[in-house]
Amino acid sequence: MSTDRPALKVRRLQDIDVKSKRVIVRVDYNVPMKGGKVVDNRRIRETLPTLKHLLDAGAKVTLVSHLGRPKGKPEEKYSLRPVAPELQKLLGRPVAFCDECVGPKAEAASGALKGGSVLLLENLRFHPGEEGDDAGFAKQLSKHGEVFIQDAFGTLHRAHASTAGIPKHLPGGIGFLVQKELEFLDRAMGNPERPFLAILGGAKVSDKIGVLLKLLERVDSVIIGGGMAYTFLHAQGVSIGKSLLEKDKLGDAQSIVEKAYSRNIQCLLPADHIAVKEIKPEADRVVTQAMAIAPDLIGVDIGPHTLEIFAGEIAKAKTIFWNGPMGVFEMEPFAKGTIEVAKALAKATKRGATTIVGGGDSLAAVDLAKVGTQLSHCSTGGGASLELLEGKVLPGLAALAC
């Protein structure tokens, strides 16, 4: 593998003896809920191969996860309880639930598990020790098993008790979901079929500078859209009206464009925009006829000409990585650019390109465009996939290194 990420040797689930063992699995069941029900079970479905493997081996499986941001104390709306029946339905086996994740009650629940059965514990983030990577909390969690399997790709970039802490007490390795994620992202970065195109969007330049710089060492072209594109346009001397601007990132934006130019990498920015006076769905939309935006307007989506240019670039690429929406896609009138990019990626996949999408917003857009099943890989972790592409060592993986 030729990524810059230091090679970490991590054991894989299939190489670990789990037969009849008590196994703790860190999953990412941070799923969207409405009225106490799971509304999108993708993250639960993605863990089924790991769970089935363990249950077939007669393991006693205790699942730990976080949900939302409850700030270290219990909050009913962040309870994982509704996830248990959803998992039970998908798994076709009973799933027990315990309303604690540490302490005597939780230990009794995990201790009572029979071979081939599953227990889901309450939200780890109901305790400050989780995000604080508290050693005592990690030790308490580790009492639920003899082996630890990490299958929460979306949290690998966080040094928390359930990612970096538990492996200090138990042997273990990575589950099938984490393996799949790493394979796709490593393949894209190590040996991509060319042309390799990266599409970055979303609101914040600052979140994406690191990954952009790293991607410029690999890609043949890059598309920058969404709110972050305005900082790049402004750095090029283009008027952007009242659009999103990160003034302190103008220098970075300029040096990224220069770096791309000096390496003969195409760097495509929006050539026209959908602009409004106020960001609200009922606002009158203006299609700017050029790159510049009038002083009283805000760019909220890419324009039709840009869409044509971006779709043309996508049609040429053999490997495509996409993170971040092209506009304020949560509001239907400004979602077209993002949805059309998702559709163009589906078309590219059909003609044999490898397409990888990372990040909650991009995945939501893929669902909106109804092309989720038509892409090569939808990563369950936006932040983790970006940090991996940046070449960073993820704490959740480093903790498992052997």
Residues in touch with ligand AMP (CB under 6 A): 202-204, 207, 226-227, 244, 299-300, 324-325, 327-328, 330, 361
Q: Which of 204, 285, 343, 347 is labelled catalytic? A: 204
Return the amino acid letter for 281: P
- Of 82 and 202, nearer to ligand AMP (C-beta) is 202
- Of 100 and 207, nearer to ligand AMP (C-beta) is 207
CB of 338 to ligand AMP, least distance (A): 8
C-alpha dihedral over 364, 370, 373, 374, to 10 degrees? -110
CB of 383 to ligand AMP, least distance (A): 9
Best CA proximity match to 320, nearest among 263, 366, 377:
377
- Of 324 and 396, nearer to ligand AMP (C-beta) is 324
CB of 295 to ligand AMP, least distance (A): 16
Return d(Cα 16, Cα 26) in angstroms, integer.
16
Return d(Cα 129, Cα 308) in angstroms, integer.
50
Q: Which of 26, 43, 218, 242 is labelled catalytic? A: 43
CB of 181 to ligand AMP, least distance (A): 18
Contact 275, 301 (CB under 8 A): no
Q: List the alpha helices (DSSP H) in 263-335.
A: 304-316
Return d(Cα 66, Cα 381) in angstroms, integer.
14
CB of 250 to ligand AMP, least distance (A): 17
Q: Which residues contact 25 (CB under 8 A, 6 or more apart)?
A: 47, 50, 51, 54, 61, 62, 63, 64, 148, 149, 150, 151, 175
- Of 21 and 343, nearer to ligand AMP (C-beta) is 343
**Per-position b or e across 181-198, b if 16+ CB within 10 A of its CB:** bbebbbbbbeebeebbbb
Residue 21 known to be catalytic? no
CB of 219 to ligand AMP, least distance (A): 19
Cβ-closest position to ligand AMP: 202
CA 379 to chain centre: 5
Alpha carbon separation from 204 to 28, 282, 338, 368 (Å, rounded): 24, 25, 16, 22
Q: Which of 58, 116, 210, 360 is labelled catalytic? A: 360
Q: What are phi and psi of 275, to 5 degrees?
A: -130, 150
Please count the residues of the chain: 402
Q: Which of 145, 173, 327, 383 is labelled catalytic? A: 383
- Of 120 and 300, nearer to ligand AMP (C-beta) is 300
Q: Where are the beta strands (DSSP E) in 344-398?
A: 354-358, 377-379
Residue 391 known to be catalytic? no
Q: Which residues are catalytic?
A: 43, 204, 360, 383
